[in-house]
Each structure stands twice: as structure tokens, then as C-alpha cells.
Amino acid sequence: MNHHKLVVGNWKMNPGSVAEAKKLVSRIKKASAKLSNTEVVICPPLPFIVPCTRRRKPVGMFMGAQTVSWETESGPHTGEVSVMMLRDLGVEYIIVGHSEQRKRGDTDETVSRRLKAILESGLTPILCIGEALRDESGAYLESLKNQIKASCANVSHKDAKRIVIAYEPIWAIGAAEAMKAEDVYETSLFVKKVFSDLFGADAGLKVKVLYGGSVTFRNAHDIMAIGKVDGLLVGRESVNAPGFIELIKVVDDVK
């Protein structure tokens, strides 16, 4: 882990063709090479990982995947993809526990198993957490705490330092506006506190906390500068080349 800011582009089930994917990654690659303080991870759909991977590793840009199986041994696991398969393709980061995967049946227990498999493979997990509702009583904080504790149940203190946490409130995904930057700051501090309680003060200080949820190049500066997060998890804007390139430039300029 280093002190660079991190922007992760989660392409979800986009774009519609290999040609579009290759064109998009080419533009992002050129822009990423010019950044001074920021690293970029792109997470295309699985079929596009190989076409989007360059023989020579790009400067400032890394390949990621949107999910992975918890199964680590080859065998009768139809439709599953292992961490070793992804690593062999050049993947270095893997998103785990995204709310859209949780909605399809992922639980804290299965997220924990995926997280363990990623860490054992030497790759970097991007652990997604987020509340469905932000109540005034603060019960959502307990929900976040429980998600972190349960998802990291089998994580050692040594491996904890390699985890990236992406705070993505479910109610903000696809919304007209992102969460207020001041609220992002308070929640990111809480996440680091929980992580410190679990794995020690050093791990809590070093863990990267990203924000995701309706992020665009227009609000990226305030989220980074006021929210004081370590980076962003970007959804729909990540497949809009002009917007995403402007966004990573904005992030890179934040002091």
C-alpha cells in the first residue's frame, strides 16, 4: 500500500462491445500516465479483461475485477472464476461485497470467504460497505460496524493492511446527488475507527477509505477535499471517457 490516492472505475455491465471497451481503456490509460498523485483501477466485465490488458503494464493504471469466487481449488464450480485465474490475467484488485452483489444473495459470510481468498492470493481486495438508509438516530453506524467486523472475520492483522474499504451508501447509488461531503468525512473517520479497533491504530491510519455513490467530475473535488477520503469508487461516470478523465484530473489536483 502506498500514499497515492486511488480511483476505481467499476464499469458494471458496460460497455456493449469489446471495441468500445478497448477504446475506453486506451483513453484512460493515456490520462492515467499523466497523473502525479493518483492511481487508477479499471474493473471491466470479465470478458473484457483480456482485451483491455496491455502487454506492457501501463503507468498509473491497474486492472481490477468486479467479483470473484471464494473457491480456490479447481473443480465442479460451474460459472465461477477463481482468484488465481484472475491473477493470471493480470488483475491486481478485486471488488468484493458490492451492494448489487449483496442484493443478489451475497452475505457478510460469503463476502468474508471471498475476501480471504483474495488476500491469500496476494491480490488487493476492495471491500464495499454501505447502509440502506441513513437514519437520524445513528443506527446505520452500527450496521456499518457489523459489516466491517463480519466481512473481516477471518482477516489477520498482517493482511488487514492490504484491504481497501469502499464506503458506498446504497441510497446514494444512482441518485441525483452524492452524499454531502461533510457527512462523507464523518463516516470515513468512523470507518477508520472501527478498523483501528479491530486491527490496531497503525492499520486504522493506513487503510484506504474510498467513497462511492453518484460520483462525477463535478462533485469529486469537494468529496476529496472536504470528505478527506483516500479516493473514489466510480460507477456510471467511469464509462463516460471525458467525464472520468476529468474526474481523475480533479482528484489528482486535490492537495
Catalogue the active-site residues.
98, 168
CA 165 to chain centroid, in Å, comes to: 7
Cell 470479465, residue located: 46
Q: What is the DSSP letter of 128?
A: E
